[in-house]
Amino acid sequence: MKKQNRRDFLKSASLLTVGVAGLSTKTAKAGPKNVLSEDRMGVLVDTTVCIGCRNCEWACKIAHGLPTEPQDTYQDRSVFKEMRRPTVKALTVVNEYPNPLNSEIPTDVKIQCMHCDHPACVSACIVGAMSKQENGSVIWDTNKCIGCRYCMVACPFQIPAFEYNKAINPKIMKCDFCFERTKEGKLPACVEICPVEAITYGPRSELIKVAREKIKRFPDKYIDHIYGEYEAGGTSWLYLANQDFSKLKFPKPGDKPMPGTSESIQHGIFAYFVPPVSLYALLGGIMWITKNRKESE
């Protein structure tokens, strides 16, 4: 660092500021928005109705082109001995829990991506490969994903699965709310096949009304809690149950949207790039002053 007069310094410093400011307007437009359309769709899962036939598991695999055993093998109830989680080979799974009202009929719970209204995975994804669609689904874009697995760290329901044993183009696998099927006007595969109508597809706002009505009409059959109405800021998938959801191994993410804190910190640090540019200017000032002091000594 030799000769550097004041004019040079100001010239280059202002150039840099302009450059950075130019960048900031671009970033403001980029980044995924949370599309929260009024008539976004949802699914209401009534765990008191589900019989654990696991046909949804089979239909899901067929709909997503995943390898599967024949449909009749899904009647095997021994899988319920262990709690299962969605994997890269099964985007939805059914687990069984004891039923406090009737020990003869256990409670079966289908799990899959909850399709949050304010998805942590969408906020976290480094390249915006996760996105919330207008119809409520949270989907993943294979063309963007770099496989960093930050979505899995962020997800409050621990849903996304990663193809750990693939060396080339490993995928993040999770329920996509049958995005391709619903676009064609079809029902999600699991909803379509359910023989007992334990899962209902419809506008989320309507489903909440239906769920409330059910709770009101059968106060003995349901606890007064629609899981997913407020959890993690609201989810597209909603659940009814006859016992506390923690007994059915549902997590307690709280009612605030997951990305709230981190996004406000991020946007605070980068408010129109003012803090970084000010820091740059401040350091430049210190550098200039200390340099002058050195020279005058």
Partner 1 sequence: MELITKPAPIKKKFFTPGVIILLLLALNGIAFLLVRFFFGIGSVTHLNNQYPWGIWIGVDVAAGVALAAGGFTTAALGHVMHKEHYHDIVRPALLTAMLGYTFVAIGVSIDIGRWYYIWHPLIYWNGNSALFEVGICVMMYLTTLYIEFLPVVTERFIGRVNLKGIFSFLNKPIDKFLRVLDNTLSKVMFLFIILGVVLSTLHQSSLGTLMIIAGPKMHPLWQTPILPLLFLLSAISVGFPMVIFEALIASRSFGLKPEISILSDLGRMVAPILGVYLAFKIGDMVIRGTFVYLTEFNVYSVMFVIEILFGVIVPLRMFLSRAVLKSPLLLFIASSLVIFGVLLNRINNFIVAYRPPYSYGPYFPSIGEISVTVGFIAMLVLLYRIIVMNFPVISQPDKNYFPKTKFAIRGSEK
Site for partner 1 in 25-44 (CB under 8 A): 26-28, 30-32
Window of 63-71, 73-81, 82-90, 190-198 that interacts with partner 1 by CB under 8 A: 82-90
Rounded distance, CA 1 to CA 232, Å? Answer: 52
Q: How many CB atoms lie within 10 A of CB 97?
A: 17
Strand-pair partners of 44: 200, 238
Window of 4-12, 49-57, 184-192, 200-208 that interacts with partner 1 by CB under 8 A: 4-12
Contact residue for partner 1 among 261, 271, 272, 274 (CB under 8 A): 261
* Binding pattern for the stretch 227-256 against partner 1, x by CB under 8 A and - elsewhere: ----------------------x-xxxx--
Which residues ranging from 264 to 293 are in contact with partner 1 (CB under 8 A)? Answer: 265-267, 269-270, 276, 279-280, 283-284, 286-287, 290-291, 293
Largest CA distance in the chain: 91
Minimum distance between the CB of residue 162 and partner 1, rounded to whole angstroms? 6
The answer to the question of residue 166 lying near partner 1 (CB under 8 A) is: yes
Contact residue for partner 1 among 14, 87, 102, 205 (CB under 8 A): 87
Q: Residue 281: CB partners within 8 Å, gap ≥ 6? A: 13, 17
User: What Rg do the C-alpha atoms of the chain give, in angstroms?
Assistant: 26
The answer to the question of residue 163 lying near partner 1 (CB under 8 A) is: yes
For the chain, the first-to-last Cα distance in angstroms comes to 18
Of 163 and 192, the one with the shorter C-beta distance to partner 1 is: 163
Of 2 and 81, the one with the shorter C-beta distance to partner 1 is: 2
Contact residue for partner 1 among 36, 66, 83, 271 (CB under 8 A): 83
Closest CA to 154 of 44, 239, 263: 263
Q: E strands along the chain, which residues?
A: 41-46, 93-97, 107-111, 130-132, 138-140, 161-162, 172-173, 199-203, 237-240
The answer to the question of residue 89 lying near partner 1 (CB under 8 A) is: no
